[in-house]
Structure 1
Amino acid sequence: MNAHVAPASQHAINADTIVQSARTVIATEAAAIRALEPRIGPEFVEACRLIMGCAGRVVVTGMGKSGHVARKIAATLASTGTPAFFVHPGEASHGDLGMILPQDVVLALSNSGETDEVLFILPVIKRQGIPLIAITGNANSSLADQANVHLDASIAAEACPLGLAPTASTTAALVMGDALAVALLEARGFTSEDFARSHPAGSLGRRLLLHISDVMHTGEGIPAVPPNASLTQALMEMTRKHLGMTAVVDADQHLLGVFTDGDLRRALDDDGVDLRGATVAELMTRGPKTIGADKLAIEAAQLMEKHQIHALLVVNDQQQVVGALNIHDLLRARVV
């Protein structure tokens, strides 16, 4: 333990002081963000034009805490339609500069604008004619001076009471990067479907990209019986296939109806039905709700919710049964 730092147990915890400290940090960082708004103007537009005209990728770089922010900005750009990646400035001078190509744009972050590792690689970038966008807290810095475009992310004060730990400054830089990413997203006409394609494992990706054909049961997994099947045969097929229903189809797999748990309950409640002698065609529901294999899985969930059903048959244009699914399939796929 550092000899100059007393253990936490030796400090009295004052709840009011802690709450006030946290509120001060939030207020300080909120003020830093608000100060950015009037600075968004021609320089910001030019930065967007440089990136929009880039035939390569946006190479984002920064050292220390600015490097952490730069990584996040690169990830946000990449996921919103602007190809981007992070290069560590220290590693860049030891070979990673080869990752930066003449058709790229470099976005460099440094609060002071005097970070040695970033300044060291600038001559190589400038010699290749690579456009440089800088986000700094010092408009008179070396980095700002060498940049094609400088975005001012300066702050009045850090939220750290010692004025040492990067807090408000990193927040301001991050927000400036987010502003770039979103402005570019809108300029490109980037849609939620585009976002889903770069996030296929996320909930939005599953909702927008997963199709019925990806989750439905096919072939021998489809519960189906002929119209002359007995109630017992229909129940056995439902039990084997575990979907709580069975399709009733003709010899060419054309859909005639569906027999469900609900149909069974209604038949049991009807004293006029001969359960031993009845065929499934007499007990089935005609004109059941169906869906196409090319539809989104989320559409099946919406259809089930709207009609208060738990399973669907999948048919082609000729009304032949090609698949089946139930709510559990959608839950397993994390669509709902």
Structure 2
Amino acid sequence: MKQFTAEDVLRLGHQVFDIEMQGLKNLNASIGKDFVAAINAMATCTGHVVVIGMGKSGHIGNKISATLASTGTPAFFVHPGEASHGDLGMITSGDLVLAISNSGETEEVLTLLPLIKRMGVTLVSMTGKPNSSLARNSDVHIDVSVPEEACPLGLAPTASTTATLVMGDAMAVTLLELRGFTKEDFAMSHPAGSLGKRLLLGIKDVMRTGDDVPCVSLQSEFSEALVEMNQKGLGMTAVVNADGTVAGVFTDGDLRRTLNQLEHLKKRTMKELATLHPIMIHEDKMAVEAAQIMEEHKIHSLLVTNDDGRLVGALNIHDLLRAGVV
């Protein structure tokens, strides 16, 4: 193996970045009517965007299909070699095929063209050769050619695969914007991810209910409130009116602030000691909103109420942590 200095290594690394960035600059400048036509075709497709590609183009195509699917455009990847042996049945007349081949002459992809045409499926291609067989037989062709590969031998797909991947991202994000795709929509397709948990979990999914909710009345004495707080372990207790509506809250903080009066507290009621009109959250809110309220007001627990202001639950920061909301 040749011996390189640190300067040599850094120079070669920067050279790859420079070549690939120049390829992206050229690609950005070339986006035009073909890109618009491809987006319109995908936006009006009534089925799926079926991405095909061999080798490195296949790897890029697989990622593009995943990005499309997670941003509101139904899509999946089909290996062209497998398509010739039965998987072509996955493509239906309402679909659109996005074929990727840098040379535009990939045999496994070209073999499928007559069948795709016979089905009447719209064919969009991305190649680095606008005069290639694939480009000439496509309904829409997008030129993703680059001046040179970053590979000094000009053999390994490098700048060309980067350009294709970025073009795929440009398609996916443009379609996302056109469809009005939201964070909530994204979360629906990522329910196990952190964003999904933040956006899909509601207060009702994480709050404590029934006997697990610490609760005393306005007439309850200080000692009753301490027992309730100790048993329920939320660091506070709700204080309610006779009709179940929330009148106040008595927290660990309130307790610390009154410890120096302990001998005088035993017979005093929650009406005298509780914090009235506390910060609360409605049961129909999202769990992430509870986290925001706690952070904003520097509190660790929240009472949950319904439309009538009645106590229906409670939660603290640990409940949100366990649910993966924070």
Which residue of 2 is the match for residue 29 of structure 1?
Answer: 20
**1:58-137 equivalent positions in 2, closer than 5 A:** 58-137=49-128
Q: SS of 2:303's equivalent?
A: strand
Establish whether residue 16 from structure 1 lines up as the match of residue 7 from structure 2. Answer: yes
> Once the two structures are superposed, what CA deviation does each residue of 1:117-158 show, in whole Å capped at 9, x if it has no partner?
111111111101100000001111111111001100011111
Given the alignment, which residue of 149, 159, 166 partners 1:158? 149
TM-superposed deviation, 1:160: 0.9
Establish whether residue 261 from structure 1 lines up as the match of residue 283 from structure 2. Answer: no
Question: What amino acid is aligned across from residue 200 of structure 2 in structure 1?
Answer: L
TM-superposed deviation, 1:251: 4.5
Partners of 1:46 and 1:136 lie apart in 2 by: 16
User: Sequence identity of aligned pairs in percent?
Assistant: 60
Establish whether residue 278 from structure 1 lines up as the match of residue 257 from structure 2. Answer: no
Establish whether residue 300 from structure 1 lines up as the match of residue 290 from structure 2. Answer: yes
> Once the two structures are superposed, what CA deviation does each residue of 1:101-128 show, in whole Å capped at 9, x if it has no partner?
0000000000111111111111111101
Which residue of 2 is the match for residue 43 of structure 1?
Answer: 34
> Once the two structures are superposed, what CA deviation does each residue of 1:243-267 show, in whole Å capped at 9, x if it has no partner?
1001112454221211100111121
> Once the two structures are superposed, what CA deviation does each residue of 1:240-291 show, in whole Å capped at 9, x if it has no partner?
22210011124542212111001111211347x7122223332111111111
Q: Which moved more, 1:242-251 or 1:49-58?
A: 242-251
TM-superposed deviation, 1:334: 2.4
Partners of 1:210 and 1:171 lie apart in 2 by: 37
Partners of 2:13 and 2:29 lie apart in 1 by: 26
Establish whether residue 313 from structure 1 lines up as the match of residue 303 from structure 2. Answer: yes
Given the alignment, which residue of 320, 328, 336 partners 2:318? 328
> Once the two structures are superposed, what CA deviation does each residue of 1:40-85 show, in whole Å capped at 9, x if it has no partner?
1111111111111111010001011100100110011111111101
Which residue of 1 is the match for residue 280 of structure 2?
Answer: 290
Which residue of 1 is the match for residue 197 of structure 2?
Answer: 206
Establish whether residue 175 from structure 1 lines up as the match of residue 166 from structure 2. Answer: yes
TM-superposed deviation, 1:306: 1.9
Q: Which moved more, 1:81-90 or 1:236-245?
A: 236-245
TM-score w.r.t. the length of structure 2 is 0.96
Which residue of 1 is the match for residue 185 of structure 2?
Answer: 194
Q: SS of 1:36's equivalent?
A: helix
Question: What amino acid is aligned across from residue 282 of structure 2 in structure 1?
Answer: G
Q: SS of 1:199's equivalent?
A: coil
Partners of 1:309 and 1:35 lie apart in 2 by: 53
> Once the two structures are superposed, what CA deviation does each residue of 1:154-196 show, in whole Å capped at 9, x if it has no partner?
1111111111111101001001111111111112122222222
Which residue of 2 is the match for residue 243 of structure 1?
Answer: 234
TM-superposed deviation, 1:12: 3.3
TM-superposed deviation, 1:38: 2.1
Partners of 2:4 and 2:153 lie apart in 1 by: 20
Which residue of 2 is the match for residue 3 of structure 1?
Answer: none
TM-score w.r.t. the length of structure 1 is 0.93
Question: What amino acid is aligned across from residue 255 of structure 1 in structure 2?
Answer: V
TM-superposed deviation, 1:231: 2.5
Partners of 1:303 and 1:191 lie apart in 2 by: 23
Partners of 1:37 and 1:307 lie apart in 2 by: 46
Q: SS of 2:259's equivalent?
A: helix
Q: Which moved more, 1:201-210 or 1:143-152?
A: 201-210
Question: What amino acid is aligned across from residue 215 of structure 1 in structure 2?
Answer: V
Partners of 1:95 and 1:210 lie apart in 2 by: 41
Runs ≥4 residues deviating over 4 A: none
**Aligned residue-pair number:** 326
TM-superposed deviation, 1:13: 4.5
Alignment RMSD, CA only?
Answer: 1.5
**Structure 1 residues not aligned, in runs of 5+:** 1-5
Partners of 1:77 and 1:43 lie apart in 2 by: 19
Q: SS of 2:146's equivalent?
A: coil
Given the alignment, which residue of 129, 138, 148 partners 2:139? 148
